[in-house]
Structure 1
Amino acid sequence: MRSTKLTIRNDPADLSVPRELDRFGVEQGIPGKALFALQVVLDEIVSNVIKYAWPEGGAHEVLVRLAADDTAVRIEVVDDGRPYDPREAPAPAQAAPGSRPRPGGVGIHMVKQLVDGFEYERVDEYNCVRLTKRCIVGARSQTEGPNDKRRA
Structure 2
Amino acid sequence: MEKEIIIDNQLDEVTRIAQFIEELGMSLQLPASITMSINLAIEEAVTNIIRYGYPPNLKSEITLRTSVAPGMLVARIIDEGASFDPTEKETSDNVQSLDQQLTKGLGLFLIRRTMDKVEYHSVDNHNELILTKNIDMNFEPEATLKTNLCKIEEVTILTVEGRLDTANTNTFNTVMQPLLNMENPNIIVNCEALSFISSSGLRSMITLQKSITQHNGQLVLEAMKPEIRKIFDMTGCSSLFTVR
- Bin the TM-score by the shorter chain: 0.7 to 0.9
The 1-side partners of 2:9 and 2:34 are apart by 26
Q: Which residue of 1 aligns with 2:141?
A: 145
Q: Which residue of 2 aligns with 1:48?
A: 48
Task: Describe how 1:1-152 pairs up with structure 2 within 5 A.
Answer: 2-15=1-14, 16-55=16-55, 57-88=57-88, 90=90, 93-94=96-97, 101-102=99-100, 103-104=102-103, 105-136=105-136, 139-140=137-138, 144-146=140-142
Q: Measure how far apart 1:89 and its partner are.
A: 6.1
Q: Measure how far apart 1:56 and its partner are.
A: 5.3
Residues 79-119 of structure 1 deviation map (CA, whole Å, 9 limit, x = unaligned): 01121112126486225xxxxx2342211111111111100
Identify which of structures 1 and 2 has the higher relative contact order when contacts are C-alpha pairs closer than 8 Å and 6+ apart.
Answer: 1
Q: Measure how far apart 1:26 and its partner are.
A: 0.4
Secondary structure class of the residue paired with 1:33: helix
Query: 1:62 is aligned with what amino acid?
Result: I
26-35 vs 39-48, which moves further: 26-35
Query: 1:140 is aligned with what amino acid?
Result: N
Are the counterparts in 2 of residues 28 and 68 from structure 1 also a CA contact under 8 Å? no
Q: Measure how far apart 1:30 and its partner are.
A: 2.0
The 1-side partners of 2:109 and 2:25 are apart by 24
**How many corresponding residue pairs?**
140
The 1-side partners of 2:30 and 2:70 are apart by 9
The 1-side partners of 2:71 and 2:39 are apart by 18
Are the counterparts in 2 of residues 35 and 146 from structure 1 also a CA contact under 8 Å? no
Secondary structure class of the residue paired with 1:59: coil
Structure (1 or 2) with the larger CA radius of gyration: 2
Query: 1:28 is aligned with what amino acid?
Result: L
For normalisation by structure 2, the TM-score amounts to: 0.53
% identical aligned pairs:
21
Query: 1:13 is aligned with what amino acid?
Result: D
Alpha carbon RMSD of aligned pairs, Å? 2.2
The 1-side partners of 2:95 and 2:43 are apart by 19
The 1-side partners of 2:27 and 2:95 are apart by 36
Q: Which residue of 1 aligns with 2:152?
A: none
The 1-side partners of 2:89 and 2:80 are apart by 19
Secondary structure class of the residue paired with 1:55: coil
